[in-house]
Chain A
Amino acid sequence: MSASQAVFSGWMEIPDSTVDDKARQYAEEETLAALVSQYAGTLYRVAFSVLRNPSDAEDAVQEAFVRVLRHRDTLGEVRDQRVWLIRIVWNIVLDRKRRAKTRPETDDVSELARVLPSGGMSAEQIAVAAQHHAHVLACVDKLPAKEREVLMLSAFEEFNSVEIASVLQISESSVRSRLFRARNLMAGLLDHTRSLR
């Protein structure tokens, strides 16, 4: 069968019957399963730090892996798969966060009180801690986008400044300067809110 006949007979579809394709599909599934088991937790935490909602974060991770599946042909060309995956999920969650601004705000305090660990704390302490965390996150949300993104990614201990720079596609010196500015702005915001109390 010639190439043109193959194209017309299958209407631009890759025929499933060949053995090579089955082997390749199996190998792709294995690679993808390995990526999921290795990086799903990290991607979930990155997604949750932005979206602050467990189900939204899980949806974002699923979407990221579906995108990987669609571009599985280029998987072999990726140098650092971890950074590549984090960049994919980072773009997804930023896009979702942008779209979610039109929706009404969720109750962050009760959500944080439910999600955050509370080992050995009373109900009152949990409520106070959740209030504090919600206040901090509200201050983080007031930061400019560039500084906020660097500050949030720097909270992940497993990411160094080179990886943060790769995710955000900026230089490492820009990461450092933005982090410096973000900390100064954050200190000012917290100081301002403390003086108001």
Chain B
Amino acid sequence: MNTPDRKSFSNQTASGNDLSAAETTLRLIASLPAPEGLEDRIQAAVLAAPRKTRILAWPVALTPASGWTHSEWVRAAAAAAIVLVVAGGGWGVYSRVQQPPSARVIVLPPHGAAQGGFSSAGAMRTPQTLNGPVVAHPSTTQPTESKVPGKAPAPIAPKPLRHGQPSTANKTAVQIPAPLAK
């Protein structure tokens, strides 16, 4: 009974030792001294960094302080240049955008069979039909044919009908001659 407890205690001790060793490593790294001359290098880098934010840097001759804006014709030329740039830009955009031609014939989509519902999507309905009767013993008798080559089979002559005994077979197929029918 004591063995697992001792084992778990030793495991806890070992993991605690590992943890303290890990924290020692982290503390060792956290307490590393800074390299020599770090402050001087950083001071130099900070002093060399740009301090001002230059938004625009025009040549001195083009700055308003040089007085070129006091001339009437220069101001008019500048205004004309601005108008040209704006109008040219607008025309460039307008010429690139092509308007779609207006449709003269409006083609309506075909209406489905069921409005607002599911359509059959062109599927054809095939009714389920019953299978016909299956003959258990199909007849093996062959129709009588003349085996003699070159001799055509004799045509079947219709049997003469007797009075009072109408034929039951082929009632519709056989045409009765007119004198016999009387």
Contact = CB atoms under 8 A, between A and B. Distances in A.
Nearest to B25: A136
B63 A9 contact: yes
Given A40-B34, A48-B32, A58-B41, 7 more contacts: A11-B63, A41-B38, A41-B39, A44-B35, A155-B23, A157-B27, A187-B18
Nearest to B11: A191
B108 interface: no
Contacts of B52: 13-14
Interface string A9-46: 10111100000000001000100110011001100110
A40 B42 CA distance: 8
Contacts, number: 117
B14 to A, nearest CB: 7
B47 to A, nearest CB: 7
B14 A69 contact: no
A49 B26 CA distance: 8
A44 B32 CA distance: 9
Given A11-B55, A191-B15, A194-B14, A33 B25 contact: no
A116 interface: yes
A62 B42 CA distance: 6
A180 interface: no
A48 B21 CA distance: 20
A168 interface: no
Q: How large is the interface on B (under 10, 10 to 19, 20 to 34, 35 or more residues)?
A: 35 or more
Main secondary structure of the interface of A (DSSP, over half): helix
Interface in A151-193: 151-152, 155-157, 183, 186-188, 190-191
Contacts of B31: 45, 157
A69 B41 contact: no
B46 A65 contact: yes
Q: Identify the interface centre among B23, B42, B54: most chain A CB within 10 Å of its CB.
A: B42
A36 B49 contact: no
Nearest to A16: B52
21 contacts: A9-B65, A11-B55, A36-B46, A40-B34, A40-B38, A44-B34, A54-B35, A58-B41, A65-B45, A65-B46, A66-B46, A116-B32, A132-B25, A136-B22, A136-B26, A137-B29, A151-B26, A187-B18, A188-B15, A191-B11, A191-B15
Given A61-B42, A157-B27, A194 B18 contact: yes
